[in-house]
Amino acid sequence: MNLKQVRRCVLYARLSVTKEESVSIARQLQSCRRYAEARGWEIVGEFVDDGVSATANRPEERLGWKSLLAARDFDAVIIWKVDRLARRVLDFLHADETLQKRGAGLVAVEDPIDMTSPQGRAFAVMLAVFGEMEAEAIRARVRAARAQILKDGRWPGGGIPYGYQSVPNPDGPGRVLMKDVERIGWLSDAVAKALRGETVNAIATWLTKSGAPLPVRRAERTSGSTSWNRQTVDGLLRNPVLAGMTPHNPGRAKSTKRVDPFAVLRDDRDRPVVNEALAIVSFDEFESLQRLLDARTVPQARKQSERQATSPFLSRVARCDECAVFLCRGTNQKRPVLYCPSCRQTIGRTALDAYLIDRLLLERGNAMVGDLAVEEAWARAGHDDKARRTVLVSQLDALVVRRGVVGRYFDEDRVLLTWRCEL
């Protein structure tokens, strides 16, 4: 393919999610258009990938590049620079090969590449090599800078935990955390209450009633609201900063909702690095606090009657022994129950849910759900009853409820539970 024969071309521009480059899509397209104009080429299409990091995926996985390849009748693709197409040499060569197969050439406005001669190809490969090295260097720089900041005991940025504030580092550049005198007392009291066994709901109510200042960011977002909720309290009781530790979870996807309270910065011997100036509890106290909170995520610790009746946790899970139909969710004298729509037998949810959860974690805690252990999948599901249901159902072979004497007390013998066979 000789570029002198080019008549019709398409443009391709890409902006990655990372802030490593500043040339906008609009400017990339503009210079590509000028390039085409100067040569008298007709532009028959413009394709864009916005917010896709070239290091994260290959050209053929990007929507914009895919639609470009699906387009017809063009002899050349104009890009602004080689690194817009790919940051890895193999990806670059692969994309170019695809274009060659369909008789199209690749040109870059800023890089003098000419894929029609061996010398030109060699030069393009060299540019791609530099692009790859540069991308790796940028990643390494970011990692190293963050590691150094943490090692120095500085605050790397991000959400500041309740009870603390960031202040200019007295010993050098950057910022450090310190206790926020206005809020740290509330935090200590909340932690002490939780350690004494008070529920997260009770603590949230107490904070609201006592007029404890809300977390700064929440106060800004919901101006006027002064009430604390369970999620906020639960989150601050699980923050490793309570024991002076620094959250640190390299390589973990940001989308993972649940924070692992023990994913913290550790020293060479894998011991958590502790900043005593920030700690309000010892490591041991922090550990038992986490155990208490985990134990409390079973349903009876929450406002149960209305919650459990509508909770999807046991939706279409248990069947009636006599009628073989699924039991429905409902209430009986304001208490949550499952009932059979056909024969009307009922069983109380409060004890049943707790019983099922106990057995699930005890008997199937180490079984696998996808690539997670049940225990871990359960912890990740948190308070999300749909996610909890998925974990339970993944292990369940059958759950059948037999008729029993209706009464206050939970009778285990009514519940016939069989787990799925391990493969």
Give me the residues that bind Zn ion (CB under 5 A), please: 320, 322-323, 340, 342-343
> Whole-angstrom distance between the N-terminal and C-terminal Cα of the chain?
56
Cβ proximity to Zn ion: between 63 and 325 the closer is 325
User: Strands 396-401 and 319-320: what pairing?
Assistant: parallel
Cβ proximity to Zn ion: between 273 and 323 the closer is 323
* Cβ at position 342, least distance to Zn ion in Å: 5
Cβ proximity to Zn ion: between 46 and 322 the closer is 322
Retrieve residue 297's tokens. Answer: 């995520």
Cβ proximity to Zn ion: between 55 and 346 the closer is 346
Cβ proximity to Zn ion: between 66 and 316 the closer is 316
Cβ proximity to Zn ion: between 28 and 345 the closer is 345
* Cβ at position 401, least distance to Zn ion in Å: 9
Cβ proximity to Zn ion: between 144 and 343 the closer is 343
* Cβ at position 326, least distance to Zn ion in Å: 10
149-175: b (≥16 Cβ within 10 Å) or e: bbeebbbbeeebbbbbbbeeeeeeebb
Cβ proximity to Zn ion: between 5 and 342 the closer is 342
Retrieve residue 124's tokens. Answer: 């393009």
**Which residue is it, tokens 């070239």?**
54
Distance CA 256, CA 73 (A): 44
* Cβ at position 347, least distance to Zn ion in Å: 11
* Cβ at position 396, least distance to Zn ion in Å: 19
Distance CA 283, CA 289 (A): 10
Cβ proximity to Zn ion: between 307 and 402 the closer is 402
344 class by beta-carbon count within 10 Å (0-12 exposed, 13-18 middle, 19+ buried) = exposed
Cβ proximity to Zn ion: between 319 and 380 the closer is 319
Q: What are phi and psi of 177, to 5 degrees?
A: -85, 150
* Cβ at position 400, least distance to Zn ion in Å: 10
* Cβ at position 385, least distance to Zn ion in Å: 24
- Residue pair 50/34 in contact (Cβ under 8 Å)? The answer is no
Cβ proximity to Zn ion: between 6 and 314 the closer is 314
